[in-house]
Amino acid sequence: MKSLHRIILIPVMILFFGCRQDVPDGVYHPFKDHRWQRFTILKFELPVKNSEKSYNIVFFARYDQDFPYTSLDFNMVMNTPTGEERIREFQLMVKDSDDHFLGTPDQGIYEGSIILSKDLYLNKEGMLRIEVENLIPRMETPGLLGVGIRLQKN
C-alpha cells in the first residue's frame, strides 16, 4: 500500500512543482566590457498578475570606479498590460557633490536605484514592457556592469 501511495504521490508532486510559474521580481541586462553603447535601447518584459496591491517599479544600475559621470541619465517608456504608456526622463545619481560614489561598495561594485513608478496598480494580467534609452551624450558609457528593473509589491 505504501508503494502505491509513493507511485501516485511522486508524479503529483513533480507535476505540481514543475508547472508552477514563479513571476520574476526583476530582470537584469549585463553589459559586455562594462560599457553601455549609446544607441542600445534595452527592453524589459515582466509578467504581472492582477493584484489588489500596488507595485513600485525600480530601475537599478551596477557600476564600478570607471564610471566617469555624476549621474546616469536615461529615458524610460513603460507600457502596462492595460495599454497605458508612460514616458519620462530620469537621472540616477551615482556620485555626490564631492565626486564620491554613492552606495556601499561590494568588492568594488556599487549599486544605485531609482523608482520609475511609485504605487502603480497593475489590475490586468499580462506583460509589463519597459524600454530604457541611455541619454549620456557619448557613444558609450564606461563603468556600467549592467542595469535592471525590479517589481516591488507594496
Confidence check: pLDDT of 13 > 50: no
Catalogue all structural domains in the chain, each as residue range(s) with its CATH number.
24-153 (2.60.120)
- Those residues with Cβ within 8 angstroms of residue 106's Cβ, 6 or more apart along the chain or in another chain: none
Closest CA to 45 of 23, 18, 15: 23
Calculate what percentage of the chain has a pLDDT beyond 70.
84
Amino acid (1-letter code) at residue 117: S
Closest CA to 101 of 62, 132, 139, 57: 62
Mean pLDDT of the chain: 86
Rounded to an integer, what distance in angstroms lies between the CA atom of residue 103 and that of residue 136? 21
Calculate what percentage of the chain has a pLDDT beyond 90.
70
Confidence check: pLDDT of 49 > 60: yes
What is the pLDDT, as a whole number, of residue 58? 97
Mean pLDDT, range 111-118, rounded to an integer: 96
Mean pLDDT, range 24-29, rounded to an integer: 84
Per DSSP, 39 falls in state T
What is the pLDDT, as a whole number, of residue 1? 52
Rounded to an integer, what distance in angstroms lies between the CA atom of residue 34 and that of residue 22? 30
- Those residues with Cβ within 8 angstroms of residue 121's Cβ, 6 or more apart along the chain or in another chain: 51, 54, 55
What is the pLDDT, as a whole number, of residue 53? 83
Rounded to an integer, what distance in angstroms lies between the CA atom of residue 109 and that of residue 61? 10
Give 62's pLDDT tier (boundaries 50, 70, 90). very high
